[in-house]
Structure 1
Amino acid sequence: METVVELTHRFLDTGGIRMHVTEQGQGYPVVFCHGFPHTSFVWHRQLAAVAAAGFRGIAPDLRGYGRTDAPADVAAYTNEAVIGDLLALLDDIGAEKAVFVGLDFGAQLVWELSLRAPERVDAVVVLNNPFSPRPPRAPSEFWTKAAQRHFLHLAYFQEPGVADAELAARPREFLARVYYSLSGDYHYLDTWKNPPGLGYLDVLPQAPELPWPWLSEAEFDTLATKFERTGFTGGLNWYRNLDRNWALTEAFAGAQVPVPTYFLYGENDPDMEGFSGRDPLAVLRANVPDLRAVVKVADAGHLVQLERTDAVDEFLTAALRDLGVGARVAP
């Protein structure tokens, strides 16, 4: 009879915030970092997969999300600050190193973690958001020009209180529409056909009724309930730190990723198409010397771990086997 590994929840003090962590399994730690507008729950299928493979899956609600504290100060949401939370998590479980998995903002986070603290990272597994070198100018210089021509969420999210109020007023509708628009079932860059000056719900497509082939009503309800309670300001504050993150990474200009890396992306992911340059895979290969695998998942979009769970689980567990970390003594 197959043993069912329980999912557990707990809190830890990172030295600055109280962070909620979801865990499943025992053994070597694999830490999952989500993006916007997600919580740790978007990794629940992968937690089960790594637990079944003999690892300890750990998915925190990153600061500003879910049951983790959401500081009032916008400047508290830098990658540097959140990396401090992740290192505190490793210290809390007594782990010298871990494998870190990231998507969306979580991908940017683990890329920067590999530069700031490579001694704590055995490898990174990144979905959809490839590494690229620090640009010569602040990110806002790029998006401000684009936002003069068409709607662009990067610009719309910058003014405190504006997007916060719009999205919090209709959280379930927003989540359904943004998850659908970012999936392989829609072409997200069609939102760019809209003029500047609109709200996000003005440009997002209507979503089909749930359940979807890749997302159940119960799963959606779990995500939506969290945002009905918290609103979206914590997550939006990550966008409001993009320039600050750039300023704080001056020392890493030209740096290459120094750890083993595994990269998977959805064929229809909008970040790969519209936000990662003209040839993101060439840039990735040029700046990640120990790039061990690159896999494209057909017909998948941004939430590839939900849209094509089997492919992501297989990729992830294969990467862990390739690293050989399962054979190490676990905390």
Structure 2
Amino acid sequence: MELRHRYLDIDGTRMHVAEQGQGYPVVFCHGFPHTSYIWHRQLHAVATAGYRAVAPDLRGYGRTEAPAQIEAYTNAAVIGDLLALLDDMGAERAVFVGLDFGAQLVWELSLRAPERVAGAVVLNNPFAPRPPRAPSEFWTKAAQRHFLHLSYFQEPGVADAELAARPAEFLARVYYSLSGDYHYLDTWKNPPGLGYLDVLPEAPPLPWSWLSTAEFDTLVAEFTRTGFTGGLNWYRNLDRNWELTESLAGRTVAVPAYFLYGENDPDMEGFSGRDPLATLRANVPDLRAVVRVPDAGHLVHLERTAAVDEFLLAALGDLGV
């Protein structure tokens, strides 16, 4: 059950992958600001149950290379990385698990290449159909009224410098603010024109009940080394992603899907529409489970690890892979 690290080259981009176990592949897709390490507890649980648990550092994160061009970070490009990873493993299909940007990847992958997805297991970010207008048209109006990270992250170099100058403080503040221990949408009470560290709450000293000092230090070391530009470039492609999905408008997700969310998740509350579960059910016809985890937030797989591991293993058992 040793954790293995390896690299593969995908069209000139070197990707780092962490793996544990043997068997049917289960691929974990992280979000911002995370790396593959954010899944290490789930890798152990899934590998112990007899599967091949695989967590890549997605493009621009951790030990995977970060292309210089902003447009290199579209969902379509990263989905190409994931399909190349499957090919490298010799796997026709895999179960994909996603959170945050990783959830968006899993949903879009399920639309673009459903024949490669045995099942989609998504945490906190429900599927929603392609909106009629570009995302920036929505967030620009909101950002005129209050601070909004989606808008603040758009200008290259601005957030990059702020966050890279204080990586440990930023990660502590953002992880805490997104958890069930804080109400993240309180950051909207701040006026526009501020930096992210100006609006995030102070974090209590580590360790926390759901995150150890050693785990936190591992993540800090990676972002201290790499900075945050790779991850921020994902935000700078939100409109480009919208443009590239015109052919997917109106499609539903046909693969078997399982959805779990934290009761206090800010994406469910403020970024997923008025009735995200109704929208999810209407657009994912083979939705086999919806689970709400009490008192948890956006980092639900760390905050309530046992509940998430149980959910994952139940989904894999239901799929029969």
TM-score (norm 2): 1.00
- 2:143 is matched with 147
Query: Which amino acid is 2:29 matched to?
Result: C
Indicate yes or no: 2:247 matched with 1:251. yes
Whole-Å separation in 1 of the counterparts to 2:10 and 2:299: 28
Matches for 1:33-72 after TM superposition, within 5 Å: 33-72=29-68
- Secondary structure at the aligned position of 1:314 is classed as helix
2: CA distance, partners of 1:53 / 1:15: 33
1:298-317 paired onto structure 2 within 5 Å: 298-317=294-313
Q: Distance in 2 between matches of 1:253 and 1:120?
A: 20
Instruction: Name the CA distance, whole Å, in 2 between partners of 1:6 and 1:116.
Output: 33
Matched letter for residue 224 of structure 2: E
Q: Which residue of 2 aligns with 1:118?
A: 114
Match of 1:162 among 145, 158, 162: 158
Task: Tell me the distance in 2 between the aligned counterparts of 1:13 and 1:289.
Answer: 36
What is the CA RMSD across the aligned residues, in angstroms? 0.4
| Distance of 1:227 and 1:65 partners within structure 2 | 8
Alignment map for 1:220-239 (pairs within 5 Å): 220-239=216-235
Amino acid at match of 1:321: G
1:319, distance to aligned residue in structure 2 (A): 0.3
Where does the alignment leave 5 or more consecutive residues of structure 1 unmatched?
326-331
Q: Give the counterpart of 1:206 among 198, 202, 205.
A: 202
- SS in structure 1 of the partner of residue 173 of structure 2: helix
Instruction: State the 1:14 CA deviation.
Output: 1.6
Corresponding residue of 1:263: 259
Give the distance between the partners of 1:31 and 1:199, measured in 2 at CA.
34
- Counterpart-to-counterpart distance in 2, 1:56 and 1:307: 24
Percent identity between matched residues is 85
What is the CA–CA distance in structure 1 between the aligned matches of 2:10 and 2:92, rounded to whole Å? 16
Aligned residue type for 2:319: L
1:274-294 per-position Cα deviation (integer Å, ceiling 9, x unaligned): 000000000000000000000
Q: Give the alignment partner of residue 9 of structure 2, picking from 10, 13, 20.
A: 13
Quote the offset at 1:132 in angstroms.
0.2
Q: Which secondary structure state, in structure 1, belongs to the residue aligned with residue 122 of structure 2?
A: strand
Distance 2:10 2:263 in 1: 37
Question: 1:244: Cα distance to partner?
Answer: 0.1
In 1, Cα distance between equivalents of 2:240 and 2:173 = 29
What SS does structure 2 have at the residue aligned with 1:57? strand
- Residue 202 of structure 1: how far off its partner (Å): 0.2
Aligned AA (1:157)? F
Residue-by-residue CA offset, 1:123-142 (whole Å, 9 max, x unaligned): 10000000000000000000
Runs of 4+ displaced beyond 4 Å: none
Aligned length: 321
Query: Hey, what's the Cα distance between the residues in 2 that align with 1:324 and 1:37?
Result: 33
Deviations 1:93-119 (A, max 9, x none): 100000000000000001000011101
Q: Structure 2: how far apart are the matches of 1:17 and 1:261? A: 30
* 1:329 alignment counterpart: none
In 2: Cα distance, 1:125 partner to 1:32 partner: 9
Provide the rounded CA distance (Å) in 1 between the counterparts of 2:38 and 2:162.
Answer: 23
- The alpha-carbon deviation at position 16 of structure 1 amounts to 3.6
SS at match of 1:195: coil
- Mapped pair 1:87 → 2:83: yes
Q: Does 1:177 align with 2:173?
A: yes
The secondary structure found in structure 2 opposite 1:144 is helix
> 2: CA distance between counterparts of 1:182 and 1:255?
31
State the 1:61 CA deviation. Answer: 0.2
Deviation at 1:236, TM superposition (A): 0.1
- TM-score, normalising length from structure 1? 0.97
Q: Distance in 2 between matches of 1:179 and 1:307?
A: 11
> Which amino acid in the other structure matches residue 8 of structure 2?
L
| Alpha-carbon distance in 2 for matches of 1:300, 1:275 | 17
Matches of 2:100 and 2:37 in 1, distance apart? 15
2:20 aligned residue: 24
Q: What is the Cα deviation at residue 15 of structure 1?
A: 1.9
